[in-house]
Amino acid sequence: MILRQPDPTELWFLPLGGCGEIGMNLNLFGHNGQWLMVDCGITFERTAQGEQRIEMPATAAAEHLLDDLCGMIATHAHEDHIGALHHLKPALKAPIYTTPFTAGVIREKFRQATVQPTLHEVTSYTSKTIGPFTVTWLPITHSTPETHALLIETPAGNLLHTADWKMDLMPVVGKPFDPKLFTHSHLPQIDAAIVDSTNALQPGFSKSEGDVKKGLAAAIKQAEGRVFIGCFASNIARIKMLGDIASSNNRHLALAGRSLLRMTQIARRCGYLTDDFPEIPLSDLAYLPNAYSTLIATGSQGEVGSALYRLSRNQHPQLAVTPGDRIILSAKTIPGNETAVASMIRGFIAQGAEVIAADQHPSLDLHASGHPNAGELEQLYRLMCPRIAVPVHGESRHMAANASIAKQAGVNRCLSGSNGDLFVLSEPSMIKRNWLSTGRVVVDQ
């Protein structure tokens, strides 16, 4: 069936992924016969047999709409936002717009691809005309550098897409959250705000990366032996603070895991890690006294084959855990990975190490989420005063919580739907349920 295209008086939002689920975000905005894609991510799915596979949103039903794609925007470098860009059909020739750090991560993904994307690098506050859309990049704080919210203006209405965000006043890398940028007096009238719902069920405010720096500093200072820290490779602020903490405790720092090496290389090129980052080669770490050694490693989710996984099983080719070592898991356990993480922790304890996991010790401030709690959502709605709130980036319970916060904050209308629903954001605003058939395709086993 050939679907109708939006006319010059209409502004549409069509999520193909990430609406009603956490992961594989793919948002399409339509106006005047053209479409703008915001993010194109993957999700990790565990099969009934316990194997993990990578999936992305199915785009087959949207194929003829995507013939009229004028551009793609990557809001930040997380896999649930950019992980599927190189799996999109090469026929999608629209240029990708993003900031230098995210562009660096995207280039790595396309390294082995035969067709290379056209990448346009932008910086904070840039405004660009992309087809019938005028897009302005507004810096916002999150758990990876250069995350940007998008102001999308059209003659049929204006949108603000928050991307993933939190109000971090001490972010360690990048500038603190600037409420002025999101205040209604600073913005044109926002007809619809498309808003991250991940932590809408958590009351109050999220912790800052600045709090985590204090928490990790205390946990590392108390350690007598070697310290191994597991964290997400894309959290450059966390890696930078670990460098600072290691230096001030006279410890050397090594990195283990391919994604960490890749991410830190891009962070160095973009100036987020400088020459004072106290990194030494992993092969040198074994020759240092334990009290002078720190290691950041991938595998905080217990992923098979990761550096932490191999260390927990005494299978790492360059390093072994010794009694008295301290393992700090500076990450939350993503639902579904509990068994793998518990088994990894048991492996460390069996080798005589002590394990401190952020999940088990929330008061130690060993990890902060990159998403807004209820208090932050309410503040954002009160600052921005959008006409319509559209919760995304969450399961239905997270999106329902986000919608009720919007209502409390005085937003009159909330459109809550899921992947494949067509959100008409111009008046008369409405949702056309199941407008397009959606689904997932497996991209890697």
**Is residue 376 part of the contact set for Zn ion (CB under 5 A)?**
no
- By beta-carbon proximity to Zn ion, the closer residue of 80 and 421 is 80
Nearer to Zn ion, 22 or 282 (CB): 22
To the nearest whole angstrom, how small is the minimum distance from the Cβ of residue 59 to Zn ion? 19
- Alpha helices (H) in 131-186, listed in sequence order: none
Dihedrals phi, psi of 97, to nearest 5 degrees:
-110, 130
Task: Specify the residue, 78 or 207, whose C-beta has the smaller distance to Zn ion.
Answer: 78
CA distance 129 to 70: 10
Q: Which of residues 181-220 bind Zn ion (CB under 5 A)?
A: none
Q: Does the protein bind Zn ion through residue 10 (CB under 5 A)?
A: no
Residues binding Zn ion: number (CB under 5 A): 3
Nearest of 420, 438, 439 to residue 12 by alpha carbon: 420
> For 315, what's the count of Cα atoms within 13 Å in the CB-facing half-sphere?
11
DSSP label at 21? B
**Paired tokens of 240:** 């930078």
CB of 140 to Zn ion, least distance (A): 11
Kindly tell me which of 80 and 191 has the beta carbon lying closer to Zn ion. Answer: 80
- Is the Cβ of residue 80 or residue 153 nearer to Zn ion in the bound state? 80
Q: Is 79 in the site for Zn ion (CB under 5 A)?
A: no
- Judged by CB under 5 A, the residue of 32, 62, 78, 357 near Zn ion is 78
Least distance (Å) from Zn ion to the CB of residue 23? 8
Nearest distance from residue 76's CB to Zn ion, in Å?
Answer: 5
Rounded to a whole number of angstroms, the minimum distance from the CB of residue 392 to Zn ion is 10
- What's the CA gap between 187 and 158, in Å, rounded? 10
Least separation in angstroms between residue 89's CB and Zn ion is 23
* 31 counts as binding Zn ion under rule CB under 5 A: no
Binds Zn ion (CB under 5 A): choice among 10, 55, 80, 191: 80
How many whole angstroms separate alpha carbon 200 and alpha carbon 178? 20
Is 146 a residue that touches Zn ion (CB under 5 A)?
Answer: no
- Would you say 78 or 240 has its CB closer to Zn ion? 78
Per-residue mark of binding to Zn ion, 271-290 (x: CB under 5 A):
--------------------
Q: Does 421 bind Zn ion (CB under 5 A)?
A: no
Q: Shortest Cβ distance from residue 17 to Zn ion (Å)?
A: 11
Asked whether position 168 contacts Zn ion by CB under 5 A, the answer is no
The answer to whether residue 371 forms part of the interface with Zn ion (CB under 5 A) is: no
| Pairing of β 252-256 and β 192-196 | unpaired
User: Residue 77 CB, nearest distance to Zn ion (Å)?
Assistant: 8
Q: Which range touches Zn ion (CB under 5 A), out of 5-13, 76-84, 186-194, 375-383?
A: 76-84
Give Cα 387 to chain centroid, integer Å: 26
Containing 432, the helix (H) or strand (E) segment is strand 430-432
Burial 147-186 (b: 16+ CB within 10 A, else e): bbbbbbbbebbbbbbbbbbbbbebbbbbeebbeebbeeee
Which amino acid is present at 413? R
CA 285 to chain centre: 31
Helices vs strands, H then E, count in the chain: 11, 23
Distance CA 192, CA 194 (A): 6
- Closest CB 142 distance from Zn ion, rounded Å: 6
Q: What is the DSSP code string of 257-270?
A: SHHHHHHHHHHHHT
- Residue 367 sits in the site that holds Zn ion (CB under 5 A): no
Cα separation of 444 and 180, whole Å? 42
Considering only the stretches 119-127, 160-168, 347-355, 397-405, report the one whose residues sit in contact with Zn ion under the rule CB under 5 A: 160-168
Residue 415 CB, shortest distance to Zn ion, in Å, is: 20
Contact 340, 302 (CB under 8 A): yes
Is 164 a binder of Zn ion (CB under 5 A)?
Answer: yes
Interface with Zn ion (CB under 5 A): 78, 80, 164
